[in-house]
Structure 1
Amino acid sequence: MVKNVILSVIFLVALILILLKERKYCLRKCRANNHQHGASHKHGEWISIDFYSYASQIRGWNPVFKVSFAVALVILCIVLDNPYVSLIVIIAMAYLTIVRGGLAAREYLSVLMIPAAFIIISIFTIVIDISKEPAGHFNLHMGFFYIFTFKAKLEQGLLLMLKVFAAVSALQMMTLSTPSSEIIYVLRRSHIPKLIVELMNMIYRFIFILLDVSAKMKNSALSRHGYCDLKTSWHTFGRIAGNMLVISLKKANAYYDAMEARCYDGELVFFEEYKKIDKKLVISSVGFLIFLSIFPWITI
């Protein structure tokens, strides 16, 4: 248990150092922008993941390399099942995305919050149990029942959370630096069935279209005091949910008509930009994977 606490402290310290370094970089960049033409920032707008991937400074890396590297890291995290390996992957992916990719740490953490919520809820269901009688090393009386857990379960939950966060961090590095069209290109080269790939792309695109429409309707409701109290908020939420169904059907018809107007014959064709594979990146990534593979035996 003490070892896991130390791991958590190391992770927090590394995260704070990355945040401080990124903050200094952002301050210098903001001062330069303000000196040239003044700062401008927009609030209340939904920014899709594609925006971050196109703005990433490592977007020029070969997509096959990035996808293969991310998948290899996910496999290593699952197979090795070592907390130190998971911690190294989390820190390394944060470094690649924030420092090398140029993404703001605040934006990176906000993107991670979505899977983090599901991970934490899942870990709670594994760690916590319910009983009519007091049990376990830690228990909480809730009136008619007890919520309890064991030290072994807490340790298991912490290790599992680190492993899942490491895998998610690797995939987030891939998605935040690789546009969806390039990921689809890699999937096609991997001989994934065409129907699955095209469905993935259309569903992915349509999610952000609906999110953008939802954000605009919410901003419109806010400007009309649609969330002034609890009753009005529930009424506004219901109206927006009802409108989303109608708008989604209209959007689907409109986009299908647009696809047919562009000679859609059942296959989506994307412009594929050729990007050379940097040998230094390949050597570095292979060395990093080898280091992760032998690291559990080094720490024994």
Structure 2
Amino acid sequence: MTTRSTGLLVVIALALILASSSLYVVQETERAVKLRFGRLIEGEITPGLHVKIPLADKIRKFDARVLTLDAEPASFFTVEKKRLIVDAYSKWRIADVDTYYKSTGGNEAVAHDRLASRVNDGLRNQFGERTLHEVVSGERDMLMENIKDYLNTTVRQSLGVEVVDVRVKRIDLPSEVSEQVYRRMTAEREKEARELRSKGAEEAEKIRADADRQRTILLANAYREAEESRGEGDAVATATYAEAYSKDPEFYAFQRSLKAYREAFSNKGDVLLVDPDSDFFRYLDRQQGK
């Protein structure tokens, strides 16, 4: 390799190094500022390819996407002076990169600490103007919207960020009063359960009494109908027997005598004293049965 070729390669390498140190790219998801010897000279650099002075300029890039601040639970008082433990989080993003860099030095942890302090102040103010019922269920959406508007009036100018949303994850009572509240809630639920059970027992007694009444009525009606049917059957049977026996009274008398003999002599241990001339032996000593 000749000296000329070597020099050309060196020049090309230096040009590539110079180009790589002079060019930089800002992505769509980034915000950037340019510092020259540590002094801010350009902010709000648009996404794309840009040029800088090597060794003199330094580019600081920040995440431009929506970030989450999940602060530690804090204690707040309602307008009724009831203390609550509130666990909330907020969504934020960089709105003014120049102000953001000047106020936080581009440190996201510093931005989180300062924003968390302001979020707690906003929650304290909003909770202090509302009752326990309002902050728990009645005006939750309005509460969050007011906190977001309050924060954006201050943090945009002081920190260069925009609060997108604030949400409460959980609201708890302090440990020293939660047990009392739980006991009171348990007592109220037990009272309600006792009332429901007593009403149920009352309704059960009414249903049972009505069922017994209907059963008695049904049995009485059934017995009456059975007796009527039995009486009608007996009447028909008596009429049938009377009609049948009236056709041959002598045969009917003979049948009755046979039945009496069968019942009288069924038990061999009995002693029967009867006059031989009585009607009992009417069909025993007369073949003709006259």
TM-score, normalisation: structure 1: 0.21
When you count strand as a share of all residues, which structure comes out higher?
A: 2
TM (norm. structure 2) is 0.21
Q: Structure 1 or 2: larger helix share?
A: 1
